A and B are shown apart, each in its own frame.
Chain A
Amino acid sequence: MALHFELVTPAKLVRSEDVHMVVVPGSEGEFGVLEGHAPFMSTIRDGAVQVYKTEGGQPEEIQVRGGFAEVGLNGLTVLAEHVEG
């Protein structure tokens, strides 16, 4: 019961791990992705990606700028131009 989450920037692969849930700041509103999400693609606006490692746990926030998120069969991939922290 885990979602495979990858955060990639042009310079490097920032994250590649299994997490519980990720909340992504989509350009038309935030959306949370759990395991088994339907295939989906969205551009993202500048903001924080919240990573919930476990259910009910404290989210870890990663600031991203410019890019898009893709949900496929093998999990969630966030392609961001810049990542802070």
Chain B
Amino acid sequence: MASLKELKGRINSVKSTQKITKAKQMVAAAKLRKAQAAAEAARPYASRLADVMASLASKVAGNDNAPLLLRGTGCSERHLLVVINTDKGLCGGLNSNIVRAALAKARALIADGKQVQFYLVGKKGRAPIRRAFPDAVIGQFDTSEVRNPGYEEGEKIAAELMGLFEAAKFDVAHLVYATFKSALAQDPTEQQIIPVPAPEAAAGDDSGAVVEYEPGEEEILTELLPRYLKTQLFGALLEIAASEQGASMTAMDNATRNAGDLIQKLTIQYNRSRQAAITTELVEIIAGAEAL
């Protein structure tokens, strides 16, 4: 049986832990709202860009001199997995889920006889992926210095990826990140980004009108593809930001509740032992008085 003083110490320490988790939960809730708003604000641009891409890509598809980013290098031997993680912990199983999805994808590709390399964004994915594939990490991007990863970071990552692609370091690139469903659910998602998969053309949109292009379709497409890539990376960064805050909020809510339960249990134990001590003391006094 722990002494009264020890119990009191434990109660106090759990209480201060609870204060921390509660604060973190409230901060995450506030940040989540902001991150969701940012993700929503980015949607119109992404959807318009996808529309334009769809109409252009269908025109140029099958053309031999289509831009490299669209038709790829012609083989699919070397794959690059771009894994986006968060920089901070305290967000439950979010990062381990993303890493697990990335490693599963990598193993599936290796089982098919392909080569796999990694490009890591965010701090939390580095250690586990390095452990599983020590030599396969060819680059990483640090987002920890900026408070809210934004379009500029998306641009930088896209530029680095395109540099690697032009240097023929890989043939196909996949993006692994978490899509934000709700504060309770963030799904690890994997999608191909290079070569750019042609988005489905919206059916019924064909008005029959001939669209004029200036300068030409291909020139526009060559400009558009890098932009499309940037937008996708930017979108992934926004999703991961929202996911991080959502997961963090849920995890901290659980932690706060667990701390509350623990405090209750410890308090009961504390009160019982105090009562036991008092009873023992009383019994001793009475026994002493009777003996006289």
Contacts and interface: CB of A to CB of B under 8 A. Distances in A.
Interface of A: 6, 8-13, 26-28, 38-43, 66-68, 70, 73, 77, 79, 81
Interface residues of B, number: 28
Nearest to A68: B220
Interface of B: 38, 41-42, 44-46, 48-49, 52, 150-151, 154, 207, 209-215, 219-220, 223-224, 227, 230-231, 234
Contacts of A8: 44-45, 48
A68 B51 CA distance: 13
Tell me the dominant secondary structure on chain A's binding face: strand
Closest 10 CB pairs of A and B: A42-B214, A12-B41, A39-B211, A10-B151, A39-B209, A8-B45, A40-B212, A13-B44, A10-B45, A8-B44
Contact of A13 (B38, B41, B234): B41
Given A10-B151, A11-B38, A73-B207, A43 B219 contact: yes
A26 B214 CA distance: 8
Nearest to B52: A70
A50 B245 CA distance: 40
Nearest to A31: B214
A10 B209 contact: no
A79 B44 CA distance: 10
B181 to A, nearest CB: 22
Contacts of A38: 209, 212
A13 B227 CA distance: 17
Contact of B45 (A9, A27, A70): A9
Contact of A41 (B45, B154, B213, B227): B213
B219 to A, nearest CB: 7
Contacts of A43: 214-215, 219-220, 223
B52 A42 contact: no
B237 to A, nearest CB: 11
B151 A11 contact: yes
A40 B48 contact: no
Given A11-B150, A27-B215, A79 B209 contact: no
A67 B231 CA distance: 12
Nearest to B210: A39
